[in-house]
Amino acid sequence: MNVPFVGQVPSDIVVSWIASALIGLFVLWWLTKYNKWPVIWEYIRTTHHRKIGTMYILVAIIFFIRGGMDALFIRTQLAVPENDFWVFQSQKYNEVFTTHGTVMIFFVAMPLLIGLMNVAVPLQIGANDLAFPYLNAVSFWLFVAGGFIFNMAFFFNAAPNAGWTAYAPLSTDTFTTGPNNNYYIFGLQVSGLGTILTAINMIVTIFRLRAPGMKLNHMPLFPWATLLTSFLILIAFPVLTIALLLLTFDRYYGTSFFIGEMGDPVYWQHLFWIFGHPEVYILILPAFGIFSDIISTFSRKKVYGYTSMVIAIAIIGLLGFMVWAHHMFTVGLGPLANSVFAITTMLIAVPTGIKIFNWLFTMRNGVVRIRTPMLFALGFIPTFVIGGVTGVMLAVAAADYQYHDSYFVVAHFHYTMIGGTILGAFAGIYYWYPKMTGKVLDEKLGRWHFWLFLIGFHLTFMPQHFAGLNGMPRRVYTYSWEDGIFLLNFISTVGAFLMGASMLFVAWNLYKTHRLTDPVGGDPWDGRTLEWSVGSPSPEHPFEPVNQVDRLDAFWHAKVKGEEVPKAEDARPSPIAVKTLQPVILSIILVFMSIGFIYHWISLQVLGGAAVIAYLIIRSITDERKEVYEKEEEG
């Protein structure tokens, strides 16, 4: 399509320009008409864990819409053989599946879980905030900046196109020239730094801010999962940072780590999967934690086998670092390496199986109430088991030569990532929605959402197993009638649109809930853990004075006795909350600096670097501890 002053631009991008402009204008008008600017001003300066958690989830949902639209484009292009849908063929198709994968992993699944951690974890352990509220705001705005950088690429017709794994040598500048994959590098670097800082924040919070008397084994399972996940982040993400740094040198400064006679493309694969495999456990463990809490609450029973649940998470996390080469069975590492990695991979099924049985045993003899969060938990169990079974199939190295890079793999990881992580995030959002907003989402619309999503999900991904077994490779934009996979693909496309339609019920639900329902009290689900002992939405300083906790599910046991949770005498001081624009400004600086790198504008790089240093200096001399310590010295 020929656009005046710009030149040739694919028509989907022109449409997105127009759509974004219209939506942007509508939002501006809406914010002004309903006088919402003070709310925005409040939220962009906040360091409060609930507000930041809510923003994580909101922004993740915006990216979810984007990633979901990519998915629908993919499915429409693949609906029938030899299709030519709009522009989504060849290179354009590469861009669509790359952004779909990267956005869904880094800018949807991660922030949904981190958002829920922000909302729930401090309340569940009886803390007034995360250990470093300011740093938490920095983490959030780094994530926003990273997501912004990554998604910006599309609007400049330069979406990354080397797959979410960015395999070298394809991702080096020899084979993918242009700025496309630069966007990938800097989007992930900036948001990755935010994720690392969040992990540090969570670990310190959980180790040092638990309510007096609460031992680690008095914590609910979601904080446990968060703690262990944070350690995985701490170890896995720096590896990605360095892998991307080396790729940056290959793309920018003429080195050849991953290409050429001296370089080694397989080294990229190792580095990527040393990060990438723990990453999938980073995505699933928090979901396990959410389901454990939900199943326990809605069964009115203590979670079955608490200790074995914790140990199982720890073992999964540990084994997660020893299985990366199962993504590389066909690379040719040799039978010994393949056997070792096959066995460690299969071992993961054992602790996962323990968890599945413990969830079932938690429900056994319980008073099971089926509300929306519980429904998602019930949908998760069989779905995830299917994903686990295909995982063990894929772990058989010899058989993997057949499955590798086929739609069987696509089906497998969607069963685990959607069936586990996304269902977990939905369950968590329905469950903690009262803690975020003070209202319970509508039950009936929640059920519509659940059933349409779950049925749509199985319709989409179940046939893909068979398409894969019949030889359909992933990352292709078309197939022929002779391949005999038309029907499988067509069902898959129908299912995808059903999942898309289910999300409309979420929008309707949000509207209906906020327009028509009354606020609820602190404990709408008859909960067991501390977050239900405070008001909804959770107040800025929920625990004043803080609780004294001496057992698991302390709130439940106090409730049963008809008492309040006892208060602690000698509590530690709470972290310092501030109102500050600095994190937002840092993220704006980093966006500009990244643009400087993406387009090789050295002056903008230097300017950005100088601005970052200036930010750090200003941050240090405006330290919010100054006032507090001054008061302490006076008093």
Partner 1 sequence: MKQTSDVLFQDKKMGFFLYLIVEAIMFAVLFATYIIFTPASQGPDPSEVYKWKTVVLTSVFLLSSSGTLLIAEKGLEKGNRTKIAAGLIATFVLGAIFMVLEIHEFYKYVHEGYSITVNNFLSSFYVLVGLHASHVAFGLGWMILLMVQFKQKIPQRLFIEKHKIFNYYWHFVDAIWVLIILIVYVPYLF
User: CA nearest 142: which of 198, 208, 63, 92?
Assistant: 198
Q: Which is nearer to partner 1, 153 or 546 (CB)?
A: 546
Site string for partner 1, 153-182 (x = CB under 8 A): ------------------------------
Q: Does 242 bind partner 1 (CB under 8 A)?
A: yes
Name the residue with tokens 């790198």.
Answer: 597
With contacts defined by CB under 8 A, name the span among 4-12, 43-51, 85-93, 571-579 that binds partner 1.
571-579
Q: Which stretch binds partner 1 (CB under 8 A): 97-105, 339-347, 547-555, 564-572?
A: 564-572
Stretch that binds partner 1, among 260-268, 414-422, 448-456, 516-524 (CB under 8 A): 260-268
Residue 185's Cα: distance from chain center in Å? Answer: 18
Please, which residue, 235 or 354, has the CB nearer to partner 1?
Answer: 235
Of the candidate residues 336, 516, 560, 621, the single one contacting partner 1 (CB under 8 A): 621
User: Is residue 249 part of the contact set for partner 1 (CB under 8 A)?
Assistant: yes
Class of residue 523 by CB neighbours under 10 A (exposed 0-12, middle 13-18, buried 19+): middle
Site membership for partner 1, residue 135 (CB under 8 A): yes
Q: Based on CB atoms, which residue is closest to partner 1, 202 or 488?
A: 202
Find the binding residues for partner 1 in span 585-614 (CB under 8 A).
613
- Binding of partner 1 at residue 630 (CB under 8 A)? yes
Scanning the structure block, which residue is given the tokens 């990244």? 594
- Please state, in angstroms and as integers, the Cα–Cα distance from residue 336 to each residue in 270, 320, 341, 393, 574, following that order: 16, 19, 9, 19, 53
CB closer to partner 1 out of 424 and 608: 608
Compute the half-sphere exposure of residue 149: CA atoms within 13 Å on the CB side of its CA. 33
Residue 256 binds partner 1, judged by CB under 8 A: yes
Q: Which of 56, 184, 186, 237 binds partner 1 (CB under 8 A)?
A: 237
User: Could you give phi then psi for residue 7, rounded to 5 degrees?
Assistant: 105, -155
Among 337, 368, 571, 611, binds partner 1 (CB under 8 A): 571
Q: Near partner 1 by CB under 8 A, which window of 82-90, 120-128, 341-349, 573-581? A: 573-581
Among 6-14, 93-101, 237-245, 428-436, the segment contacting partner 1 (CB under 8 A): 237-245
Which of 522/575 has CB closer to partner 1?
A: 575
Q: Are the C-beta atoms of 575 and 591 separated by less than 8 Å?
A: no
For position 576 contacting partner 1 by CB under 8 A, the verdict is: yes
Cβ neighbourhood burial of 200 (10 Å; 0-12, 13-18, 19+)? middle
Both tokens of 261, joined, read 């006679």
Of the candidate spans 32-40, 182-190, 360-368, 620-628, the one that interacts with partner 1 by CB under 8 A turns out to be: 620-628
- Which range in 79-87, 128-136, 156-164, 502-510 contacts partner 1 by CB under 8 A? 128-136
Work out whether 140 is an interface residue with partner 1 (CB under 8 A).
no
Shortest distance, position 251 Cβ to partner 1, whole Å: 13
Cβ proximity to partner 1, 117 vs 239, nearer residue: 239
Tokens representing 373 are 């969060």
Rank residues 151 and 198 by Cβ distance to partner 1 and give the closer one. 198
Q: Is 626 one of the binding residues for partner 1 (CB under 8 A)?
A: yes
Site for partner 1 in 187-216 (CB under 8 A): 196, 199-201, 203-204, 207-208
Taking CB under 8 A as the binding criterion, the range among 91-99, 140-148, 179-187, 625-633 that sits at the site for partner 1 is 625-633
Q: Which of 215, 444, 572, 600 binds partner 1 (CB under 8 A)?
A: 572
Task: Quote the CA–CA distance of 436 and 55 in Å, as a whole number.
Answer: 10
Least CB distance to partner 1 at residue 140 (A)? 17
Closer CB to partner 1, 256 or 330, in the complex: 256
Size of the site for partner 1 (CB under 8 A): 51
Q: Which is nearer to partner 1, 443 or 623 (CB)?
A: 623
The binder of partner 1 chosen from 33, 563, 573, 603 (CB under 8 A) = 573
Hey, is 335 helix, strand or coil?
Answer: helix
One-letter amino acid identity for 591? V
Q: What span, in angstroms and rounded, lies between the C-alpha atoms of 442 and 8?
A: 47
Min dist. Cβ of residue 197 to partner 1 (A): 8
Q: Give the gyration radius of the chain's Cα atoms.
A: 24
Q: Does residue number 514 form part of the binding site for partner 1 (CB under 8 A)? A: no
Of 131-139, 339-347, 484-492, 498-506, which part binds partner 1 (CB under 8 A)? 131-139
What is the DSSP code (8-state) at residue 126? T
CB of 209 to partner 1, least distance (A): 8
541 contributes a contact to partner 1 by CB under 8 A: no
Q: Could you tell me the smallest distance in angstroms from the CB atom of residue 400 to partner 1?
A: 26
Q: Per CB under 8 A, which of residues 6..35 are in contact with partner 1? A: none
What whole-number distance in Å separates Cα of residue 353 and Cα of residue 288?
Answer: 12
Residue type for 138, please?
V
2 membership: H or E segment, kind and range: strand 2-3
- Phi and psi torsions of 259, nearest 5°: -150, 160
Determine which residue in the list 119, 159, 211, 246 makes contact with partner 1, applying CB under 8 A. Answer: 246
| Distance between CA atoms of residues 70 and 150, nearest Å | 14
Measured CA to CA, the distance from residue 153 to residue 591 in angstroms comes to: 12
> Using an 8 Å Cβ cutoff, are 450 and 376 in contact?
yes
Note whether 526 and 297 are within 8 A (CB).
Answer: yes
Secondary element (H or E) of residue 7: strand 7-8
Of 146, 137, 239, 245, the closest CA to residue 198 belongs to 137
The CA–CA distances, whole Å, from 438 to 40, 363, 517, 530, 564 equal: 19, 28, 10, 16, 21
Residue type at 293 in one-letter notation: D
Closest to partner 1 by CB, 13 vs 214, is 214
Q: Which is nearer to partner 1, 59 or 325 (CB)?
A: 325
- Choices 32-40, 121-129, 412-420, 569-577 (CB under 8 A): range interacting with partner 1: 569-577
**Of 221 and 236, which CB lies nearer to partner 1 in the complex structure?**
236
b/e map of 337-356 (b: 16 or more CB within 10 Å)? ebebbbebbbbbbebbebbb
Residues 263-302 that bind partner 1 (CB under 8 A): 263-264, 267, 271
Token digits for 260? 């050429």
Instruction: Indicate the residue among 257 and 407 with the shorter CB distance to partner 1.
Output: 257
Give the residue among 437, 313, 361, 618 at the shortest CA–CA distance from 55: 437
For the purposes of burial, counting CB atoms within 10 Å of the CB of 9, is it exposed (0-12), middle (13-18) or buried (19 or more)?
middle
CA 490 centroid distance within chain: 29
Name 406's Cβ contacts closer than 8 Å, sequence gap at least 6.
468, 469, 471, 472, 473, 474
- Chain residues in the site for partner 1 (CB under 8 A): 131-132, 135, 196, 199-201, 203-204, 207-208, 234-235, 237-239, 241-243, 245-246, 249, 253-257, 261-264, 267, 271, 570-573, 575-576, 613, 617, 620-621, 623, 625-626, 628-630, 632-633
